[in-house]
Amino acid sequence: MKKAVLLLLFCLSAISIFAQSKRDTKVADNKDNRQYSNTKFEYVVIDAPNKTFGYDISAEGKTIIHQASIPGFSGDEGFRTKNDAQKVARLAIAKIQRGEMPPTITPDELKKLNLVK
């Protein structure tokens, strides 16, 4: 009985230590992602396959994202218009500034921007 209680206490301690280390790691990762919060961003619309468009995003002059296709969709074609690519590039920059890196663009967000059906 004593061994079972000791084993249980050991397991609970190990779980507690593991959970604490995971929480600390998550906080540290979030701080690392905020490295771009005060950074100057620029985007450039680029040509993509089949007369479509994508974008490059740079931070302080260094390209950090090259997106030649519509995010979250299969295939290699980009956006139909330069304006569509600009909308998504601006959304991606806003996400990076909020600490989301990489800035995941969801199909729902593309629908809200009237870029996909």
Write out pLDDT tens, residues 48-93: 999 999 999 999 989 999 999 998 888 889 999 999 999 999 999 9
Q: What is the mean pLDDT of residues 27-31?
A: 43
The residue assigned the tokens 């800035």 is: 103
Asked whether residue 10 carries a pLDDT value surpassing 50, the answer given is no
**What's the CA gap between 85 and 52, in Å, rounded?**
9
Is 7 within a domain? Answer: yes
In the chain, the DSSP E strands lie at: 41-48, 52-59, 62-67
pLDDT in tens, 31-45: 455 566 678 999 999
Is 97 within a domain? Answer: yes
User: Do both 96 and 59 map to the same domain?
Assistant: yes
Domain boundaries, position 87: 41-112
User: Do both 95 and 80 map to the same domain?
Assistant: yes
How many separate domains does the chain show?
Answer: 2
What are 83's two structure tokens? 């304006």
The residue assigned the tokens 């000791």 is: 6
Q: What is the pLDDT of residue 114?
A: 87
**What's the CA gap between 52 and 54, in Å, rounded?**
7
Is 86 within a domain? Answer: yes
Q: Distance from first CA to last CA of the chain, Å, rounded? A: 63
Is 117 within a domain? Answer: no
User: Do both 57 and 102 map to the same domain?
Assistant: yes
Asked whether residue 11 carries a pLDDT value surpassing 60, the answer given is no
User: Do both 29 and 57 map to the same domain?
Assistant: no
Q: Give φ, ψ of 43 to 5 degrees.
A: -130, 155
pLDDT in tens, 98-116: 999 889 999 999 999 988 7
Asked whether residue 3 carries a pLDDT value surpassing 70, the answer given is no
**Cα separation values, 23 from 19, 32, 88, Å:** 6, 14, 32
**What's the CA gap between 68 and 78, in Å, rounded?**
6
Q: Are 85 and 45 in contact (CB under 8 A)?
A: yes
